[in-house]
Structure 1
């Protein structure tokens, strides 16, 4: 009965909860940590900061399915601080036992004794523990008699959509003491020296087992996507892809006429074209190529000096002019799903998301003018969570899958994204993200 109720609650939440990962931007360049941070601060806001499991799911969804590891914005600081496991909860109440805390190692955890006093302990010690939800009701304190390390205890609580208990007052401390069965129990207080590069105070941590490893100057953190996005600390000099957060500081519709160096993002040239996907029209591209001494187009380099005037009308070099209807733009150039996503976010808002019949009808009408048999939609499947979602909108329950497609009728592998058939009923299908198709971008209304 409890399992059924939880399942229905999750379904209800998915139909209303915002699953957009537009705040995260995967950058395919290989950079050391400091260069990656500098790039993100110049082009977006900063390296990605993670506040909770919802952010982790969005982060995983923002990277290609074959990504191994990428830098995020967690780095080792100089000050060791106590944090509650519940992100952003202030440490404004303490009840240390005499002689505590003791300053054990670089990482340590806190436990409560039968008298309700706290003591510092090595995190690998096996203890019973108390989980807690977001409610302050005493019934939401759950004592778990099984003994686990602090990290494994936290995972147990998170698997129940809870967390290790945070204590914010003497009254709450008494409630935890009352349910602890007169045992030493883990509470959700821990100490470390890790900090977010954007200065945020999130205490959320998602380490792999046996991590962090403090040997060999491993002062920077990457998400390991083959391990469900769990974190490793690595040498900051390692060259890795990375994930930025925040909106772009170089919008495609901004009018400029200057010499500027534009770093390459996730896009790569489609169809083996030497033109690439660049934020300027074909006329400007020709002008740039002619002015580039040495005979190499700036569009084919990782970062080239471009003397160009950007405009809100964007046509990929060598393609048919885009077809516009309201705030939708059909790009009649074949690209992979990730290239299409990056192109739309660079020049407009996002790949099109369909959340109702009226948008479906509008997209279906435009799709008939495509030069490919299907067009990309902003719909993606993540095999990590067995979930279809829109890249830039809330997870509305509207669907238009072709017969035999979509959940639960069809089982998909990793690397599948959503497309619309351009003929017939314009139904949705799942295709490999490496296929190259036309696509529709969505801009801000008006």
Structure 2
């Protein structure tokens, strides 16, 4: 298959306008707690908003200002959860992964990683700080005190390379075992906080307020946009307005041929998706994580014209932006329809008769 550059002319019969942005944002100017806001968005739209780059951040800020230019703190779909570095569920019996031994007024938002102090109580701290740390050795089923100072991520890497992982603490007995093998005032353990989007998207973009502060005795587990457009965290039970989104992309987890998929989308007043920009590729990539395990590829609205000798989208555009896999052969007589591989998000041509999942766009 050869990459096709933009063409200035195409048959009038297949010319149409761009599919447009894949998301629409809705600022809801009523106050609910984070969980209630999440429920509202899921019932009336797609979900609480997730943000993957500065352009979307700016679009959301504009959506808020159009409705309420004085809005102060507005919920987004980001919520934190405490998890162990050693994530194998077989390592924990019922409730063991939820054991905690927080000190007074902890966790209080000082950071997203946890250390144990010499009396056995736990505190949260900025993960970039350096501390001694405790590894878990699976072969001996015991703990190892490491007398090197590293930040939490470096400590995790060291434990995984030399032992099993940073230490999980499953009960009071293990908490005492760690106390017994270290005389340090503070040692990293394997508990850390991850910020997770409500829709399970994997965006790593952040826009936190510099040096954001929290108040003791408050669990700041949900994220907001403040008046300056920066993110901050707050108690999830507080009542705030919020932003929902509508996703114009719909993954159909049914296996159909390309023609059947096109017909299915159009019968629902949609179309097979045209991936004509990097932004659209990114949103398609998010949906691929939800494809059926049996579907190694997912149909796109991409087909080959033997008359024109070009690939084009069902919305009428030729292929200007592309993400073709680099190791493809030229098209043969039976391979003339475009799909995207779930394992690496590259485009690939497939026989029309292959039955796989597909993505429609509203």
TM-score range with shorter-chain normalisation?
0.3 to 0.5
* Structure with the larger RCO, 1 or 2 (CA within 8 Å, 6+ apart): 2
